[in-house]
Amino acid sequence: MPEAITEIPPELKPAAEAALAWVNEKRGAQFEVTGLVNADLALDAYPDQEMELGLVLCDGDICLREQVLVQITGEEFRITSAKLGEGGIPPELDPPSGVRKGWLDDQLQKHAFTVLVFYRGFW
């Protein structure tokens, strides 16, 4: 199983920020990077080769994983989509526990009761 980290290495921050801007523009969203998957592989490729970044993105309501290829040319970044590997972290993720609690508290204030459905670890 791929390993996810929440602390983005300084060398990968510019590439992660460029990839985030690309994903947000492509999806019309306002995601934030909350982690990277397999950052060690990206660091091995940095800066001379095209690198694959697994971004863990959250926007408050949902979290997902976006796999991108990043090519660095001077000060510019070329970002494209990459395929997710088999058996990895799925593309749609359960939000961090702090987000879930806030969402649940909001729903309980709006409704007399709330039904949560869990399916294979997702809610």
Q: Is residue 120 part of a domain?
A: no
Alpha carbon separation from 104 to 1, 4, 108, 122 (Å, rounded): 29, 26, 6, 15
Query: What's the pLDDT at 94?
Result: 60
Could you give the number of structural domains in the chain?
A: 1
Q: Is residue 45 part of a domain?
A: yes
HSE (CB half, 13 Å, CA atoms) of 4? 17
Q: Is the peptide bond between 47 and the residue preceding it cis, with omega within 30 degrees of 0?
A: yes
Query: What's the pLDDT at 118?
Result: 59
Q: Is residue 30 part of a domain?
A: yes
Q: Is residue 115 part of a domain?
A: no
CATH number for the domain spanning 81: value is 3.10.450
Residue numbers of the domain that contains 24: 4-95
Q: Is residue 122 part of a domain?
A: no
Q: Is residue 53 part of a domain?
A: yes
CA distance 49 to 94: 32
Q: Is residue 116 part of a domain?
A: no
Predicted structure pTM score? 0.68
Query: What's the pLDDT at 28?
Result: 92
- Stretches in the chain below the pLDDT threshold 70: 1-2, 61, 84-101, 118-123
Q: Per residue in 69-88, pLDDT tens?
A: 999 888 899 999 987 655 55
